[in-house]
Amino acid sequence: MRDSQTLGENMAFRADEAERTGREEAEQYLIGRLRGVDAAEIARSREKLADLVEELGPVVDAYPSWHPLVRQHNAAHPVTFPGQECGYRGLDHTVLFAHGFVTCPYDDGQRVLDSVQALAFEHPAATIRAERLDVKFYQPNANPILVRADWHKPIALDKTIPLSIALPLLLEMEVPCWQESKFAESWDTMRTCFLGMPSGARSSLFVSQETGQAIKKIWESLINTGMFGPIQLRK
């Protein structure tokens, strides 16, 4: 999909433009490939996609590493896309939304459902759950599964995650790394990992400019303590 890092580095981040592009790409990927499906069924699929965007937020390319949907991984090796590294099995042909994702395996999808159940993820911030969808996505013989994060505290109306939720999740993931870390990573290195993609210098479809700026300041304060080791500047 989009080269989100280049987007963030080379131009001002425009959330509305990123949302529109993501929606168009998701519709083409999930619905534009349906062949031999009648018009009424396609209309149901398109309506369901609109409902998912309304409920789960905009289409995205990658999650922040602290996001509940990918946080069950080794923090020393950040994961921003759901997969086996964070406990999922059977994912195939996957489209991400800010607070959930749709995956479209050709089997019955039971491996996805079982893996989500096995995660037994219950955290003060969110609960992860999965369900089958009764519409056609990607291909007529695929079986779409929805995996979603149900937040326990309110998020913003625009579906961004407030600092009061994002920061504890980030610190919970990153601070314990001081015990084994030899180098500290700069903000420029960690930016897309902490903001998700697409993103700009201090904001994304997950966090507002104010929240992103606060996360940046706190991260720079942490690495400047030396707790992770000397700051490693990458070219």
pLDDT tens-digit profile, the chain (235 residues): 444 444 444 346 888 999 999 999 999 999 999 988 999 999 999 999 999 999 999 999 999 999 999 987 766 788 999 999 999 999 999 999 999 999 999 999 999 999 999 886 567 799 999 999 999 999 999 999 999 999 999 999 999 999 999 999 999 999 999 999 999 999 999 999 999 999 999 999 999 999 999 999 999 999 999 999 999 876 5
Query: For the chain, which residues make up each domain, given as ranges?
Result: 4-151, 163-232
pTM over 0.85: yes
Q: Which of 93, 126, 130 has its CA nearest to residue 111?
A: 130
pLDDT at 3: 43
Burial degree of 186 (CB within 10 A; 0-12, 13-18, 19+): middle
Q: How far is 30 from 51, CA to CA, in rounded Å? A: 14
CB proximity list for 129: less than 8 A, separation 6 or greater? 116, 147, 148, 150
pLDDT at 234: 66
Q: Which of 9, 17, 11 has its CA nearest to residue 205?
A: 17
Peptide bond into 198 cis (omega under 30): yes
pLDDT at 4: 42
H-state helical runs in the chain = 4-10, 15-30, 39-56, 110-119, 163-174, 187-195, 209-224
pLDDT at 122: 62
Q: Assign residue 96 a region: left if phi > 0, alpha if psi is -120 to 50, beta otherwise?
A: beta
pLDDT at 6: 40
Q: How far is 139 from 13, CA to CA, in rounded Å? A: 33
Residue 149, number of CB atoms within 10 A of its CB: 25
pLDDT at 123: 73
